[in-house]
Amino acid sequence: MSVMSPSYKRHLENMQNEFDAEKYRESRMLDLYNERTFYPAFVRDMLKAEKEVVIYCPFISKYRSEFFKGTLEKLRHRNVAVFIFTRPLEEHELLTRNEIKAALAGYEELGACIVQLPGFIHAKAAIIDREIVWDGSLNILSQRLSKESMRRAQDKDIATQMIDHLGLNRKIAEGYKYQYERLYRGLVEKSKFKVALKIRAGSVVQSGAKIFRGILFAIPRAIILLLKCIKIFLTLLT
């Protein structure tokens, strides 16, 4: 049986260390994007999401809310949770508040959980499935004409660090609780509506039956009245 020499053993260990280091570097490779290349890549990541999309963006615009509408509809259809962290309305200029309010309402209708963070937040980031991280200078939910840059990293450790750094763990948990409560309330209201609809439908059927019986009862009387009128008319002619 052959025995490896200490030097050869060290050589194999060094090769393994280099291999592990290269894999580590590849796993943490950062891809750079500008304002033109960012959105196609980001939407692709969103559409591949299986559980959760978190967007941390201080500014909101109607232009971008319309852009993301179709994507969010697809995520809602697949039950992917979407969280949007942004500034409160009172921290925006007065002239833009109505537009921002309408955009946020649209996001909520599409199933997104909106969390307003006071303190003039300015960071821009997104975390998808706690694995893919986007961060940089670009306001994801408002950018239109400005020149920006964004980095993409696919690494669970970086995703965890970003969520911790932004202080989002507890707020995301509260968001899930709110989503489930809203879903429960929606199901309860829907159930009540169906019951009321059935009761109303039953009342309509009963009312219709009464009307129909009344019509059947009135027809002979109408015929008799018509015959009497004809008889009187003929009598007057003679």
CB 43 within 8 A of CB 72: no
CA atoms in the 13 A half-sphere facing the CB of 210: 6
The residue to which tokens 């995520």 are assigned = 75
| CATH assignment of the domain containing 157 | 3.30.870.10
Alpha helices in the chain (DSSP H): 6-27, 38-48, 62-77, 97-109, 156-166, 169-237
CB 55 within 8 A of CB 82: yes
State how beta strands 113-116 and 81-86 pair: parallel
Overall number of domains in the chain: 1
Tokens of 233: 């008319």
d(CA 219, CA 117): 71
Q: Choose between 207 and 26: higher pLDDT.
A: 207
Residue 116 DSSP SS3:
strand
Q: Is residue 172 situated within a structural domain?
A: no
Q: What range does the domain containing 89 cover?
A: 30-167
- pTM as predicted: 0.66
Q: Is residue 118 situated within a structural domain?
A: yes
d(CA 166, CA 233): 94
Predicted pLDDT at 15: 73
Q: H/E element holding 61?
A: none
Q: Is residue 97 situated within a structural domain?
A: yes
Residue pLDDT, tens place only, 72-93? 999 999 999 999 999 999 999 9
Q: Is residue 64 situated within a structural domain?
A: yes
Averaged pLDDT of the chain = 81
- How large is the angle between the packed helices 38-48 and 62-77, nearest 10 degrees? 20
Q: Is residue 225 situated within a structural domain?
A: no
Q: Is residue 4 situated within a structural domain?
A: no
Predicted pLDDT at 207: 61
Q: Is residue 44 situated within a structural domain?
A: yes
Residue pLDDT, tens place only, 172-200? 888 787 776 766 666 666 666 556 666 66
Work out the pLDDT band at 233, boundaries 50, 70, 90. Answer: very low
Tokens of 31: 């891809």
Q: Is residue 199 situated within a structural domain?
A: no
Asked whether residue 113 carries a pLDDT value surpassing 70, the answer given is yes
